[in-house]
Structures are given as C-alpha cells and as structure tokens.
Amino acid sequence: MKKLIIAMILAATLGGAKAYLDYQLGRELDKITNQITAEYSQISSSLLGQVIIENVHLDSYMQVYINRIILHKAYQFYPNLPKSMSLNLEGVRIPIANTMQPIPLLISAFGYEPYYISLKELYDLGYANINADISLDAKLQDNQLSVLGIIDANIWGKFTLSAELNKVSNSFNTMELVSFQLKYIDNGLVNKAISHLALRNKITLMQLQQNFISKLNNDIKQPDITNNLRQFIQNPRGLTLNLQPNFPMNISVLKTFPIQKFKLNITASN
C-alpha cells in the first residue's frame, strides 16, 4: 500500500511539474511568435526532455505548415549553447504558387532560359506542394561545429546536407567554413522536368540533353565536373556536390569569394 501511495505522489508531482513547464514553454514561445508571423496550436514537453510544438504555421514571404516540431533534449540549452542538438520537423508543407513569375536575372544573363523551369510549370506537372520530413543534428566540440541535415521530400527527392564550421560563435558571419557537402537522390523530378523543357522548346529529349551538356561544357570547362553532370542529366539517379575552400574561410568573406577559388567536386550516382 505504501508503495502505491508513493507512486501516486510521485506521478502527481511529475505531472504538476510537467504542466507548469508546458505553461512556461507556451509563454516563452508566445514571445517569439509575437515577433514573427507564426501560429501554433499546442506546445508540450516530455519527461525525456523533448519540446514538442504542434500545427505550426509560418507566414512570411511564403506559407509554411508543419505538423510537428520536436526538439530533443531541450534542457541542454540552459544556460549556454548545447554540445549537441537534434531537431525534427514532421509533415512540412509549402504550397507552390500557381502563378508565372519572371525568370531570375542571372539565369537570363548567362543564357540558361531554355533549361529553366518555373514554379508555375512545376505546379502544372503535379508538384503543387513541397512535402517533406526534415531532421537536423549538430555537434559542437572544441569550437568546431558539425551539422547534418536530411530533407526527405518524397516526389521531390531526398537531400542530405553536411557542413563543418570553425570558430563557432553567436554570429554566423564570423564562423569559418571548413567543408560543405550536398547529396541529392532523385525520385522522378529531373526526368519530368527535362521532358517538359524539351516539349516547351519543341525539340527532342535527347537534343535538349545534348544542348544543355554543350552549354555546361562551354561555361564550366572542367571535364571532371561536366562528365558527371552529363551522366546525371542522361540518367538522373543521384548527385553529390563537395565544396571546400582552400583553407577555412570566414562566412562573410565567402559571400564575395570567386567560385574558382574553391575545391569543387561533383559526382553522379550509377
């Protein structure tokens, strides 16, 4: 009987503490959402240290809907930045605008209009929404930050991003980039887009592919890169991009640094 009473008292204490924590979390999140255009239906915590936000709606230059945001081991954020972080965004949905927009200036300037597909065209091809589950993991050790992000976007494909940064601080611009990698696994999007572009330009699929490859060869002039791009265009399965400065470089400097000064490697999956 005593064990039962102790268990009931413990359960009531934990339940009360959790209710109070959920209330405080709600107050803190309200302060943040008052500063940005955002709504959510519920925020709660788990006894394992998770913070869970339900039914999030962000309204900025685009609409973003998220079924659930889970921040694992949230207690690590007090009082300083944590040594590791794990975040999940479940059921992310971003509607695609069903309106024609002007071609970006750089696309026109470099002559890539025949190979540019607009959001309106993607909408018409059945890509009315971006639907994805996103996970983000970060680890901090000796002032070096490792970041891994996975975006599983269903019909849009799967993206894996990883980066290494030095001199970690509260200001992103003062950090140094050591390396960056982007992996993409196609799930039918590229073939659909290229077939549509061929039809739009009134040429065959093979002609469009060859024209695009010739354009890339002429502009890039790096056979190790263009050969892999050609392989991907002709048989789009997966593509990996590795970008690395010759030495760890300040983020603010990277924004104006010539791309030719980077070690760039692109490989296609067989």
pLDDT at 82: 66
**b/e 138-149 (16+ beta carbons within 10 angstroms → b):** bebeeeebbbeb
The answer to whether the beta carbons of residues 188 and 263 sit under 8 Å apart is no
**b/e 53-81 (16+ beta carbons within 10 angstroms → b):** beebebeeeeebbbebbbbbebeeeeeee
Q: Which of 249, 239, 245, 238 is nearest to 264 (CA)?
A: 245
Q: Where are the domains of the chain?
A: 1-90
The answer to whether the beta carbons of residues 212 and 197 sit under 8 Å apart is no
pLDDT at 15: 41
Encoded amino acid at 107, one letter: I
Query: How far from 62 is each of 5, 93, 120, CA to CA, in Å?
Result: 53, 11, 15
d(CA 51, CA 97): 32
Query: Could you report the average pLDDT of every consecutive run of 10 residues in the chain (270 residues)?
Result: 37 42 51 62 76 86 88 64 83 89 87 93 94 93 89 95 85 81 95 95 96 92 89 94 81 67 78
3-state secondary structure of 58: strand
Query: How far from 30 is each of 10, 23, 37, 168, 242, CA to CA, in Å?
Result: 30, 11, 11, 28, 40
Structure-token pair, residue 171: 């200001």
Answer yes or no: pTM beyond 0.85: no
Query: How far from 269 is each of 12, 183, 208, CA to CA, in Å?
Result: 55, 10, 21
φ, ψ dihedrals at 137, nearest 5°:
-125, 135
d(CA 63, CA 107): 25
φ, ψ dihedrals at 173, nearest 5°:
-65, -20
> Distance between terminal CA atoms of the chain?
66
pLDDT at 106: 84
pLDDT at 2: 35
d(CA 176, CA 167): 6
Q: Where are the alpha helices (DSSP H) in the chain?
A: 2-33, 105-109, 119-124, 189-200, 205-220, 223-234, 251-254
pLDDT at 99: 85
pLDDT at 47: 67
